[in-house]
Amino acid sequence: MNLLLGSHILLWWLSDDQRLTPKARRWIKQADVLFVSAATTWELAVKASLGKLRMPEGFLEVVEAQGSSHLPITPAHAMAVQGLPWHHRDPFDRILLAQAIVEGLRLVSADGALAS
């Protein structure tokens, strides 16, 4: 199974945070490939610049050291957003969902609204 990690899930995984559910931990440990979207990196960088969170030092290298692969945003991903229902308005979450659909990935997110 190939996974795409949402921002909260990624940060919780990197910091071994107890908010990461046992089910999510199992999926991550058993995944064939873990992907981190450029959208997640972008979202976290924006929030860090606003002082809302601290990214791990050497974030890109830390992600790679965990065995994750960076997933760029492609035009196909961007176009797939157009066909999504409007259950969720956050543009970062919408592109993650589109990427998961286009790439055949399971999206692991702390945001229950994405399940819709």
| Domain regions of the chain by residue span | 2-115
pTM: 0.90
Q: pLDDT band at residue 116, thresholds of 50, 70 and 90?
A: very low
Going by C-alpha positions, the residue among 57, 42, 54, 49 that lies closest to residue 95 is 42
Residue 114 has pLDDT above 80, yes or no: no
Whether the CB-CB separation of 55 and 22 falls below 8 Å is answered with no
- Tokens representing 101 are 């659909």
Tell me if the domain spanning 2-115 has CATH number 3.10.290.10. Answer: no
- The b-or-e profile of 29-52 (16+ CB within 10 A means b, else e) is eebeebbbbebbbebbeeeeeeee
Q: pLDDT band at residue 112, thresholds of 50, 70 and 90?
A: low
Q: Which residues does residue 5 pair with via DSSP β-bridges, in sequence order?
A: 108
Residue 75 has pLDDT above 90, yes or no: yes
Beta strands in the chain (DSSP E): 2-5, 33-37, 68-71, 106-108
Residue 94 has pLDDT above 90, yes or no: yes
How do residues 16-32 score in pLDDT, each as one tens digit? 999 999 999 999 999 99
SS3 category, 62: helix
Q: State the average pLDDT for the chain.
A: 92
